[in-house]
Amino acid sequence: MLLLGLTGSIATGKSTVSSILSSPPYSLPIIDADKLARRVVEPGTPGYAKIVAHFSSTTPDLLLPFPDDPAYDRSKGAPLNRPALGRRVFGDSEERKRDRGVLNGIVHPAVRKEMYIALLKCYLKGHWAVVLDIPLLFESKLDVLCGTVMVVAVRDKEVQMRRLMDRDAHLTREDAENRVGSQGDVREKARRCEGRGEGRGVVVWNDGDREELRREIDRVMSVVKERSPRWWAWLLLLCPPLAGMIGVWTYLRNTVINKRWIDEELKAKAKL
């Protein structure tokens, strides 16, 4: 089974690409890290308790009022005010970076556990490929698990800013800039993706309309299918030891690729 890591940056169209890949003619199962991240911090979960314990003293509006719904279980706690939490952790100041690290340290381990369970289910069902929809794929180092990485990117940063502010009308331009900046330059992610090699890293450029995006997805998926045909997925399903060996090889190969990328980045910075 091919692990197709899907990433990008906020407002580049990653969710749209994910939706297209989950629909015919591709019909791929999607493991959405954002949805898992919401699930693992719902009221009553260990993640929720840790967030409230750490952020309640610095974020007075961390919790929303209880819903006016008799079926809501108030014993689990009030819902998180996600925009308020976002304002607390997004930004370039040392304090915000530190708090973002705390939040990631709470959410990421729980998300990984849920993700591994979902991957196992997809493998046992015999899927040709599964999409790991992870905004911070490189940053979380989960790209080492992926046979192919797909980055959804835009060439023009202003397109990204405009889409974000159109989508989330409550954001000021400063808020939008902080959120875009917190996920890194998507063009840099695109270069890193292409550096993985032909077929191992593909970039979906999404500066145009939806029809242009569909054509771009068709183009990159033809490359992905050529490198990982369906018969190969069935062979790995029927021969679990081989699947394990391929998984280890993929992990080691990607680790070497990442180390080479980091070394090259350090050399480039040293020349500045």
With beta carbons less than 8 A apart as the criterion, state whether 105 and 87 touch: no
Predicted pLDDT at 236: 86
57 φψ region: left (φ > 0), alpha (ψ -120 to 50), beta (else): alpha
Question: Tokens in use for 209?
Answer: 């309309």
Report the residue count for the chain.
Answer: 272
Q: For residue 84, which amino acid is it?
A: A
pTM passes above 0.85: no
Give me the residues paired with residue 151 across strands: 7, 203
Predicted pLDDT at 64: 92
Predicted pLDDT at 206: 95
Cα first-last separation, the chain: 42
Domain locations in the chain as residue ranges: 1-29+128-272, 34-126
The domain 34-126: what is its CATH number? 3.40.50.300
Mean pLDDT of the chain: 91
pLDDT in tens, 34-50: 899 999 999 999 999 99
Q: How far apart are CA 86 and CA 179, in angstroms?
A: 9
Do 1-29+128-272 and 34-126 share a fold? Answer: yes
The domain 1-29+128-272: what is its CATH number? 3.40.50.300
Predicted pLDDT at 175: 83
Predicted pLDDT at 149: 97
Predicted pLDDT at 272: 63
Q: Which helix (H) or strand (E) holds 205?
A: strand 201-205
Q: How far apart are CA 228 and CA 226, in angstroms?
A: 6
Q: Which residues of the chain have pLDDT under 70?
A: 272
Predicted pLDDT at 115: 93
